[in-house]
Structure formats: structure tokens, C-alpha cells
Amino acid sequence: MELANVLLEKDGKIAILTVNRPKALNALNADTLLDIEKAVDAVAADPEVSVLVITGAGKAFVAGADIAFMQPLSAMEGREFGMLGQRVFRKIELLEKPSIAAVNGFALGGGCELAMACDFRIASDAAKFGQPEVGLGITPGYGGTQRLPRLVGEGMAKELCFTADIIDANEALRIGLVNHVVAADELMDFVKKVANKIASKGQVAVRLTKAAINEGLQTDIDRGMTIEAEAFGLCFATADQKEGMAAFLEKRKPEFTGK
Ligand code: CAA
């Protein structure tokens, strides 16, 4: 697979997607978004991969959509470019496999939006977050107006978007934008440990849990309970459920097959 702006590697059951345009702080132009999409499609289709980790090369995670690329766009081209980023990030959000953003540095604008499209975020102590778009005379365009308030609440999201303030990793932890902050040189080891823990569980159950949470957040509690009951029931048709419960009762470690 030809990917000019993204690296895709495997480490056991983990796929690591690294946005790799360090000279532009990994800013997202159309080609980079399309590379991310191709890499995510490859992860979706690879039966050996259980968890996707997204990170950035160099000192940035992603410093946003590419400002030089956007500067000359017309209204219709801007709309199209926004919809391209939305499509790629929604694909990450809906990927059946869990995804973790390993935020190594600047996660601004489209970079913060990429991190928010992952299931959760783990930051290095060097990470910085923000939605600086209004300072450029635009709104967030890759889901920031929708995902940020869902993650940190309406008031905090509005303050961050209206002021364009950049916050550090500890503030991101305080407001619930990231789950953990770790030393920069320990970031990937820590993220891999979390990813491997997820990969060691029953994968059908992990995927059904992700789908139930995602779908449930978009609906009322009664419909959400129905979604959960369907997912829960379906687990009893899997080999993993028989194995997981047998292992518990026999006081041994389960050997899941993802079936
Ligand atoms: N687009 C294009 N190029 C970018 C970029 C971006 N978003 N961010 C950084 N770069 C480029 C710089 O132009 C610079 O290139 P040159 O070496 O060719 O001059 C190179 O990356 C290094 O950047 P700096 O010299 O600025 O590095 P710094 O350490 O001094 O500052 C920074 C780092 C604070 C992140 C600063 O680069 C910055 O503010 N970047 C822009 C952040 C931003 O506004 N992001 C939002 C973009 S809009 C968006 O994302 C819309 C959306 O929702 C879809």
C-alpha cells in the first residue's frame, strides 16, 4: 500500500498509524486525510489487528488542517474539504475495533478533532490541545463542534472554541478530554500496555460494547437499553462467552479466539 504521509506498522495485535508530515507538524491536507482513510480501511480488514493506535511523528500529534492548503479555497471547496475530514474521522469513530489516540504533542484544530474521533486519548506531558479555528476566521470543521461538547460539556467546549485557548495535558486531563497523562518517553509503552490489555479480552464483546456505547449516546435511555440487551444476548452465541465463563469457573486464564 502506497502511503506518502502516514506510517502503518503492526506490533502484535496492535496497529500503529503515525501521521508523518513532521515538517508541517503533521498538518492535514487532502492527501494526508486520504492516506489516513486508506490505513484505517486496512486496519478494518486485517483480522490480526485488534486495536488501532493513532499518533504523530516528531513534536506534533497533528497541528490541524493544513492552513496553506485551505487559504485559497472557495466556499464549496471548503465545504468539501470539511466533509472529507468528517468522513475519515467518522470512519475511525465507527471502526469496529477500538482506537486510542497517543497524543505526543500539539493536537490543535483538526488534530484535536482526530484525537476526539478515537475511542479515548492518552497524552504525553508535552501534549497541547485546542480548537484555534476562530483565530483563523473559520469554525472547527472535522467534528469539533459536535464531539468536544459531548466529551467535556457545552460550557467548556464553547469557551475553548470561542477563545481559541491552547491548554496543556494536565488541563486536558482535568476537563476529561484525556484519560491519562504520562511522561513523553513513556507514552508509547503505556499506550501499548493499555492496547494489549484490550486485545487480551473477548474481541466480539469489546466490539459490541463499543457499538452499544456509540449508538446509545445518540439515542434515549430506553432505546439504549434495547441496544445493550441485543448486544448482551448476541454474546451468548459466541465461543468467547463459553470460553470466558468456563475459564472463570475452572480458575484458569481464558483463551479467546474472537469467535
Ligand atoms: N497548517 C499548515 N502548516 C502548519 C500548520 C498547519 N496547521 N501548523 C504548523 N505548520 C507549519 C508551519 O507553517 C511551519 O512551516 P515552515 O517551517 O515552512 O514555516 C512548520 O509547520 C513549523 O511550525 P512553527 O514554526 O509554527 O512551529 P512552532 O513550534 O513555532 O509553533 C504551533 C507550533 C503553535 C503548533 C504553530 O505551528 C501553530 O499555531 N500552528 C497552527 C495551529 C492551528 O491554527 N491549527 C488549526 C488549523 S485550522 C483547522 O484545523 C480546521 C479544522 O477544524 C478542520
Q: Which of 171, 184, 3 is nearest to 103 (CA)?
A: 184
Count of domains observed in the chain: 2
40 found inside a domain: yes
Mark whether 118 and 228 lie in a shared domain: no
Mark whether 149 and 27 lie in a shared domain: yes
Mark whether 67 and 96 lie in a shared domain: yes
pLDDT in tens, 17-59: 999 999 999 999 999 999 999 999 999 999 999 999 999 999 9
pLDDT in tens, 199-248: 999 999 999 999 999 999 999 999 999 999 999 999 999 999 999 999 99
* Enclosing domain of residue 224: 203-249
What pLDDT is attached to residue 216?
Answer: 97
Whole-number Å distance, alpha carbon 9 to ligand 1 midpoint, is: 26
Q: Which of 15, 46, 19 is nearest to 31 (CA)?
A: 19
What pLDDT is attached to residue 1?
Answer: 80
Q: Average pLDDT, stretch 159-168? A: 98
Residues enclosing ligand 1, CB less than 6 A? Answer: 24-25, 27, 63-68, 85, 106, 108-110, 113, 132-133, 136, 140-142, 144
**What is the number of the ligand 1 atom nearest to the C-alpha of 68?**
2
Nearest CA to ligand 1 atom 18: 24
pLDDT in tens, 105-146: 999 999 999 999 999 999 999 999 999 999 999 999 999 999
**DSSP tag of 97:** S
Q: How far apart (Å, rounded) are the C-alpha atoms in residues 99 and 181? A: 17
Which pTM does this prediction carry? 0.98
149 found inside a domain: yes
Mark whether 209 and 195 lie in a shared domain: no
Mark whether 166 and 219 lie in a shared domain: no
Q: How far apart (Å, rounded) are the C-alpha atoms in residues 207 and 214? A: 11
Q: Is the pLDDT of residue 82 over 90?
A: yes
Active-site positions read 113, 133
Q: Is the pLDDT of residue 191 over 90?
A: yes
Mark whether 130 and 154 lie in a shared domain: yes
What pLDDT is attached to residue 2?
Answer: 83
The pLDDT-based confidence of 171 (bands split at 50, 70, 90) is very high
Contacts of 126 (CB under 8 A, 6+ apart): 59, 104, 105, 169, 184
What pLDDT is attached to residue 37?
Answer: 98
259 found inside a domain: no
What pLDDT is attached to residue 253?
Answer: 96
**What is the number of the ligand 1 atom nearest to the C-alpha of 24?**
21
